[in-house]
Structure 1
Amino acid sequence: MQLRLSLLLGFICLVLMGSGQPGFLSFTVKNGLSQNAVTAIFKDSKGYVWLGTQDGLNRFDGIGFTRYKHDANDTMSISDQYITAISEDGAGNIWVGTRNGLNKFSYHSNQFERIHINPNRKNVIQYVFDQIFQIGNGNLAFVAEDQLYVWLNQQRLIKKIVGNYNDRCAYTVNDAGIWRLYKSKLYQYDLRSFIVKKIYQLAGLPGASASISKIFFDRRKKLWTVDESIEHKPKFRIFQVGSQILVSDSIQLSEKIYHLSFDSYNRAWISSLSGLLKVDSNYIPYYWRGSQLPATLNQANAVLCSYHDTAGISWVGFANNGVLLYNHTASAFTLIQPLNKTETVFSYAVDSNHNEWLAAVSGIYKRASAKNKWELVSRKKVRSLVAGDKGKLWTAIENEGLFLIYPDGRFQLIANTDNLKLPDNTIFHLHYHSGTGQLFISTKSGLVLLDTKTMLTRRYWAESLDKRYQLSGSYVLHAFTDREQRTWVSSNTGIDVFDKSLNKILQYKTNDDKASPVKRTIVTGTTQDLNGNIWIATLSNGVYKWKNGRFNQYNQDSGLSGNVVAGIMVDSLNRIWVATTSGMNLIDQNHDQILQLSEQNGMPASDFLLASFFVDKSGALLTSSSEGLVMIKPSLFIPKKLQLNCYVTDAAINFNSVPIANQYKLQSDDKSISLEIATPSFINAEKVVYQYRFLGLVDKWVTLQPNNRRISFTNLTYKSLQLEIRAAESKAQLERAPIKKIFISRKPPFWQNPFILGPMILLLLIGLLMLVRFFTKRKIKQRLQQSAIEQQIYKERERISRDLHDHLGAYAAAIKSNINQLERSDEKTNSTLHKLKENADDMVNALRETIWVLQYQEISLTALSDRFKNLVNRIRPNYPSIAIEIYENIEADKRLTPAESIHLLRMMQEVLTNALKHAECSKITIRIQVNEIAQIEMEDDGKGFEMEEVSNGFGLDNLNERASESGVSLQIFTKKGGGTRIRIVF
């Protein structure tokens, strides 16, 4: 067990280096983007992100890019490569402004329609649509050459509202209206009627439109203007809009401004020539740079635009570095590295003087409460830390034992194997109970309880003879005291629970499959949520929730990233943080979901250590990892609950592309259909699980292989089928995922058309009926003819039988009578006459048998047996010295034809006669048996003979001939002095 645990713990401690910056994802031409100069960004209602560049338009689903470029030979392609603006109308069409006109993209046709608002400008090379706004009710507003147009979605038309060609002005939109800055006045237009609601005078800014190039509203309805009258020294003015417009603040910059946007926290993001600037609450701009940010932000790279979607993701478009995705949940995580480099951190604690302590590979560090710098205290390898009272710190030093660190930095040895206070110097975890002053020391040889006042110890272990100190396992990994003052001890073979007096009240052994619900695993730790439930971490089964003796399990099937759990902790929002060797997980009980947190969520580490969680007084969680100490601020991590919608992104029939639709109709000669599916997901997109089922063909859900999003079918049946697709971030979430339905049908060949098939079937049925009638009549006729023939044969047999009886029988009887008279008259001829009489008897008997056979069409074997037994009874008196025994066992009677019957009877007579006359036997045994087969066996104990020496004797030729004619098997077993056995099988 110790070897197994050591291997597993070694696996936990493996260092897995991350790549990139947590919370950021970068996409360039290397990932499929058409060009690295990103000029416009927009997320549509389906969830796809559209990225406009100086060389084409891109649709992004989180995994791959679909690129659209101008084709001079295709009027349904986009009008120009240079993209200036993107938006979506109420019908789901994507509107794209370019350097050379306006375009409307249809998902259904996968094609562009070029929109010519002003036909006079149709052939102008430079016709820029640089702004497109959504204005509600599915309508859009366009700005081109200082003129404002609106798209009325319900009427399906474009209407000009205001403006003249190159008569300089600036536009913006918010939920209060469309705003136009012209000269020194700000006009507010109603979003429905498009008439002017109010006109504001910009005090102190005469001829404002001549100097102000851009206007924006933030999320608090403050107006931001950009004054670029001084080249490369733009000035922002922020106005409070009320009954009048007043300047509230101003910001002076020293470089060119391209774009301004506001995130969900109303922070301004300024896209400039030298990078991305943010503006804090005091309206002080600062470049967004730092050691844990991507190089593209730290360098002086021009940023052209930014965009913030409703999922909490911000997008940054660079002039030469593609697009950068930033997940705002990353602000909840901080990676602490005392030497500003990657190294494993084992433990963390805050002493009673508010000093922070950190144990890492390189040593133990301290950060004083008044300082912001970590200072090395000792090079000792500390595995566990816990704060005591009076500023003291209890620490476990690798292979040395338990030490006490005083506020002045002194180390004092308290317990180890040398002073016999510890059974082993390998300490996994320290837990200090401030109420009782007791220190729980988890070692690989049991739990040691230290009274920090008296320094006396007490040991609990599996092999203890005293049941009061007996644990389920000696390899103790963790101890935890809940709010009810119960202490939960986690070991290699179970959990032991003690009350506040340290009396054992519960025990769950993990090596007992019958008694314990926690089976075949190692328990690594426990914690308690705000509802009083106990959460149990294991090394192979995920986690369990204990509630009043009942267990619920959460594992990979439930949505965890792995089943090897190193640590577990509850935050202030009653969410369970689960640290595994394959990443961090969050069990959100309030929203009934499990989240897997990766670097894309901002989690700066992916491999966490045993007993890795700690809590500071602010409520922040700290967890040790192979990359440093991770600080988690739960209040900042509020992920949005998203449902992933699955769509068809590409369709092909017979490998030829077809428009995307909800219904596909295949012709009879169409052999295949192929659909590519996708769900727009930009955080952990590679983990999205896709499933489909084809009702009527594949009724069970089929999970697609990773990196495969294409479904193909060949030789579909000629009927309508329903394909269903769905996607989720994990298999556990698939049951609640929305289902997309697609209808696919295949037209049958013309001969299977109901209008043709019906008459064809009717004609075929009529033909079949006539054919059946013809053959039936012919069969009846043949049966009648056969019956007539059989009747004639039967009558002829009766006539022959009658003639034999009347004529030959009479003659044979007369001969017999005459012989009897001659015997009485002349004794000299008795011998000859006696012989003649026997022959006459044989003739009469043969005639009787022949007549008897001819009287029936079928004869049962039972009847044949009875006839033969009568024959034996007549013969038996003539051979008093020979015993003849007959055994009959007929389980299922067998029917014989007259020919078969006469042949069998003659063969039995022949064998019997031969045995009586020639075998010199004393006993003859006859067996007649019928079950699955019929067989007749006749055996004597006579002198026997050699088959090679007999040619034509004993009637063997006659027997073989009859056997051949009747189709039976004749078997003869004999040897000299050994008797003879003859078997007839049929």
Structure 2
Amino acid sequence: MRLITTVIIWILLICSTMVFASVSRLSPAEGLSQSYVNTLLLDSQGFLWLSTEAGLNRYDGYQVLNVSGPDGVLEEVVLNRIYQDSQERIWIATQSAGFFSYDVRSDSYKTYFPAPKTEEDYVNFSINQILEKDENHIWLGRFDNVALMQVDTGEIVDEIKLPVTEGRTFVRALLNFGDFLFIATTDGAFVFQHSSKQLQRIKYIDDVTHEYQSNTKRLYLKDTNTLLLGAVKGLYEIDISGLQQKFASSSFEWQYKTLFADINVWDIEPQDDHLLLATDKGLIHFWPETGDKVRDQRLLNSEFTLADSSIMEIVRDSHNGLWLATKSDGAFYLSEQVDRFNNVSSLNTQGSGFSHNTVWRMVELGGYIWAATNDGLTRYDPEKNETQIFLKGYMGEDVYPEFSIYTLHLYEEKLWIETNRGFFVYDPVKDKATQLTGRDEEETKILQDRLYGVYVSEDGFVYFIHAEHGFFKYNITDRTLHKLEGEFEQFDPFLSFSFLKPLPSHPTHPLFFTGGTLYRFDPIFNKLHTIYAVPDAHKDIPIIVQSYMIDKNNILWLSLSNYGLIGLDPQSSERVHTIDLEENNLGTLMYGMQEDDEGMIWMSSHKGIWRLDLIIFIYSNLLLVMGY
């Protein structure tokens, strides 16, 4: 079942807008101040903050807002850095407007350093990096020093002076680990021991042959004994296992190695078993233990064209999606689901391709996925990633050659198919399609005419609708055809929709839908039991059951065309949930429904794939009922 569910999603992606929906962008066209995004921040309330070289922005999931700051001082200024501490303060460092904090809870700003007026002010008040020491103090990476500021007063209470060329160096990254503060600058990297107040330069390369090798800007703790250092030119691994002894003995013999010699590393984000690097060459998946590296293709294969491949920063959200800051193209969002989807199409499979790009139904048989398309069957081998076409153009005509297959049923290792040319039984071993036959010529004529609303039951019966002759039940074993009368006589077969698979509570009772009402049919007593009737539905109303399923909470969900999603108690048939598609701005039909292991309901539509989080939906409804 897991395999068929996965492949259903694969095939649906071929003909839906989800092909590009996994990558989205925020740019000046969406309201961003500028395309150069140097810092991304997801605050405690879920808002995305973006600092650019022409102002500060905040994205709420719907629109990009310009953050003007106190008295508009942040409008169109160059932002150096933004940072959120554990007290939910957002720190904002600018190049020319000063240094501020913003309290998310009170929606208030506090100015710490004013706008520089002289060159001395610029040196003293410019901040390039921010790191929280504790709830009362923050480290500020400046030009040739790292200062410790008391949050309440704004007073600088300590300062780490760096042995660098004054006016030509500035701090680019800070990382605190236990008793040590690691500092990356444009003139190499350093480590400061808090307890001894000692500072030591870190050696990470034998000989500096290019100035960019000294321009370090990313610090990442791979494990308790290993530090990764990213530079404008290179990625380096440093052994920090004996730092306490090194400082105690003043003997520093550094162990290091070069992981990448010529790559510009902006950021490092951990993945399950490897690292994701933000570089000048785009996103790179890197396995440090083996040295393997693979370039991430998601942006390259998206609908967007990048002017510059540089990725400045990576931020992961609560859904495991990735926000990327770029140098020239704004910010991009990569949905975490991208890696879970594999697009199966004629473009990336071996074999004969797909008989048609429109796929109506699928079943699994003999280790293969059989897809009913708008012209024949396509058999997909997931092990070999290979396809083969069957029945394409079968019984075709000059004007209308397609052999369209609308439904697939699996019974006795054969495919029972409802098509535009009648109902057929396809034997995949013999590659042969045959039609049903009755006990006499009249029955055979009905069976080989155009049938619709077909359901093939597990106990060997075929239920179907004939537009002119009515409703029928066919016994596969003895070939007897029985016309369903009694209560069925009140319905016009031409206006009726379909027989459907039974509910688990009544496995031999197929469902039947017509005129806005869903019934359960008892074939023994020839009795119809009403499950749900659409309110005020006219018998001729064009409402049909697209799909149904029972979730883990034992709720029967119905997808009704032109009406929405209905959640019923399957025992009492009482309606407990209603989701109006138009009201929720979906405005589309939901076809197949499938519940995943986490209780999410996935639904296919003409506008791609949708997911319903039942926990959030039910909780939201509860709050509405309670008056919140």
Pair 1:44 & 2:43 matched: yes
Other-structure match for 2:501: 480
Query: What amino acid does structure 2 have at the position aligned with 1:48?
Result: F
- Partner in structure 1 of residue 151 of structure 2: 153
Deviation of the 1:124 alpha carbon: 3.8
Q: Does 1:279 align with 2:286?
A: yes
Deviations, residues 156-192 of structure 1 (Å, cap 9, x unaligned): 5343342326378875336757631589997576xxx
Structure 1 residues 774-831: Cα deviation after superposition (integer angstroms, max 9, x where no partner):
xxxxxxxxxxxxxxxxxxxxxxxxxxxxxxxxxxxxxxxxxxxxxxxxxxxxxxxxxx
Contact 2:73 2:97 in 1 (8 A): no
**RMSD over aligned Cα, in angstroms?**
5.1
Counterpart pick for 2:362 among 319, 324, 348: 348
Instruction: Measure the CA separation in 1 of the matches of 2:136 and 2:446.
Output: 76
The CA deviation at 1:586 is 4.3
Equivalent positions of 1:807-956 (< 5 A) are none
Task: Specify the code of the residue in structure 2 equivalent to 1:419.
Answer: T
* Greater per-residue helix proportion: 1
Matched, 1:538 2:560: yes
Match of 2:434 in 1: 412
Map 1:578-617 to 2 at 5 A. 578-579=603-604, 586-589=611-614, 591=615, 593=617
AA matched with 2:520? V
- What is the identity, as a one-letter code, of the residue corresponding to 1:22? A
Whether 2:394 is the aligned partner of 1:383: answer: no
- Which residue is equivalent to 2:81? 85
AA of the residue aligned to 2:444: N
Q: For residue 810 of structure 1, what is the aligned residue in structure 2?
A: none
**Partner residue, 1:402:** 424
Asked whether the 8 Å contact 1:393–1:404 carries over to 2, the reply is yes
How many corresponding residue pairs? Answer: 567
1:81 is paired with a residue whose SS is coil
| TM-score normalized with structure 1 length | 0.48
- In the alignment, what sits opposite 2:317? 309
- In 1, the alpha carbon distance for the partners of 2:595 and 2:566 equals 13
> Deviation at 1:201?
11
Q: Deviations over 1:414-447 (max 9, x none)?
A: 36998235285143454452xx344555666766
The CA deviation at 1:293 is: 3.9
**Structure (1 or 2) with the greater strand fraction:** 2
Structure 2 match to 1:765: none
Deviation at 1:36, TM superposition (A): 1.1
How many Å apart are 1:304 and its aligned residue? 2.2
Amino acid at match of 2:574: F
Task: Provide closer, same or farther for how the CA distance between residues 592 and 274 of structure 1 changes in structure 2, counting only shifts above 3 A.
Answer: closer
CA displacement 1:342-388 (0-9 Å, x = unmatched): 9432111211x111122233542111244213333232211112333
Change (3 A) 1:16 1:310: closer
| Higher mean C-alpha displacement, 93-102 vs 301-310 | 93-102
Partner of 2:397: none
Residue of structure 1 in register with 2:3 after alignment? none
Question: For 1:556-605, what per-residue CA distance to the aligned partner results, in whole angstroms no more than 9, with x for missing partners?
Answer: 3598646955343433344444556677554544x2526xxxxxxxxxxx
Q: C-alpha separation between the residues in 2 aligned to 1:389 and 1:242?
A: 69
SS of residue matched to 2:444: coil
CA 1:171–1:319: 2 relative to 1, 3 Å: closer
Cα distance change on mapping 1:239 and 1:481 into 2, 3 Å: farther
Say if 1:276 and 1:297, in contact at 8 Å, map to a contact too. no
Q: Distance in 2 between matches of 1:512 and 1:116?
A: 66
List aligned pairs for 1:605-684, cutoff 5 A. Answer: none
In structure 1, give the amino acid aligned to 2:429: P
Who is 2:99 aligned against?
A: 103
Q: How far, CA to CA, are the matches of 2:286 and 2:190 in structure 1?
A: 25
Q: Which TM-score applies when normalising by structure 2?
A: 0.72
1:112-123 matched pairs, under 5 angstroms: 113=111, 115=113, 122-123=120-121
Q: Distance in 1 between matches of 2:435 and 2:99?
A: 78
What secondary structure is seen at the aligned counterpart in 2 of 1:593? helix
d(CA) in 2 for partners of 1:565 and 1:227?
Answer: 48
Per-residue CA deviation, residues 58-92 of structure 1 (Å, 9 max, x unaligned), is 2333444444689xxx9972499332311134665
Which of 500, 519, 526 is 1:496 aligned to? 519
Corresponding residue number in structure 2 for 1:27: 26
Is 1:367 aligned to 2:380, yes or no?
A: yes
- Once the two structures are overlaid, the 10-residue window that deviates more, 524-533 or 201-210, is 201-210
CA distance in 2 between counterparts of 1:196 and 1:523 reads 74
The 1:492–1:219 alpha-carbon spacing in structure 2 relative to 1, beyond 3 Å, is: farther
Secondary structure at the counterpart of residue 555 of structure 1: strand
Is residue 90 of structure 2 the alignment partner of residue 94 of structure 1?
yes
Q: What does 1:211-222 align with in structure 2 at a 5 Å threshold?
A: 211=214, 213-217=216-220
In the aligned structure 2, how far is the partner of 1:171 from the partner of 1:327? 28
Stretch deviating more after TM superposition (376-385 or 276-285)? 276-285
Q: Is the 8 A contact 2:93 2:128 kept in 1?
A: yes
Q: Tell me the residue number matched to 2:577.
A: 554
Describe the SS at the equivalent of 2:436: strand
Amino acid at match of 1:278: H
The answer to whether residue 624 in structure 2 is matched with residue 735 in structure 1 is yes
Q: Give the conservation status (yes or no) of the 8 Å contact 2:555–2:567.
A: no
The C-alpha deviation readout for 1:667-689, integer Å capped at 9, x for no partner, is xxxxxxxxxxxxxxxxxxxxxxx
Which residue in 1 is equivalent to 2:235? 235
Amino acid at match of 2:235: K
Counterparts in 2 of 1:215 and 1:358: CA distance versus 1, 3 Å? same
Match of 1:140 among 115, 134, 138: 138
Verify the 8 A CA contact 2:16 2:607 in the aligned structure 1. no
Separation in structure 2 between the aligned mates of residue 210 and residue 292 of structure 1, nearest angstrom: 28
Residues 297-339 of structure 1: per-residue CA shift (max 9 Å, x gap): 7886222222223454421122211111223245455554446
Give the Cα separation in 1 of the matches to 2:192 and 2:627. 41
| Structure 2 unmatched ranges of 5 or more | 1-11, 246-253, 349-353, 393-402
Query: Is the alpha carbon distance of 1:327 and 1:550 closer, same or farther for their aligned partners in structure 2, counting shifts above 3 Å?
Result: same
Q: Are 1:427 and 2:427 an aligned pair?
A: no
What whole-Å deviation, never above 9, does each CA across 1:104-148 have from its counterpart, x for those lacking one? 054779777361799996434797533222445264322122522
**C-alpha distance in 1, partners of 2:500/2:177?**
56
Report if aligned partners of 2:141, 2:147 keep a CA contact under 8 Å in 1.
Answer: yes
Aligned-pair CA distance for 1:196: 5.8
Residue 268 of structure 2 aligns with which residue? 260
Letter in 2 for 1:271: A
CA distance in structure 2 between the aligned counterparts of 1:318 and 1:512, rounded to whole angstroms:
51
CA separation in 2, counterparts of 1:198 and 1:393?
A: 77
Q: Is the 8 A contact 1:542 1:562 kept in 2?
A: no
1:946 corresponding residue in structure 2: none
- Would you say 1:527 and 2:549 are equivalent positions? yes
Match of 1:659 in 2: none
Which residue of 1 is the match for residue 529 of structure 2? 507
Of residues 581, 584, 596, the one that matches 1:571 is: 596
How far did residue 279 of structure 1 move? 3.0
Distance 1:257 1:426 in 2: 63
Distance 2:534 2:90 in 1: 62
Q: What is the distance in 1 between the residues matched to 2:136 and 2:471?
A: 68
Q: How far did residue 497 of structure 1 move?
A: 2.7
- Equivalent of residue 324 in structure 1, options 310, 332, 336: 332
For CA contacts below 8 A with separation 6 or more, give which structure has more relative contact order.
2
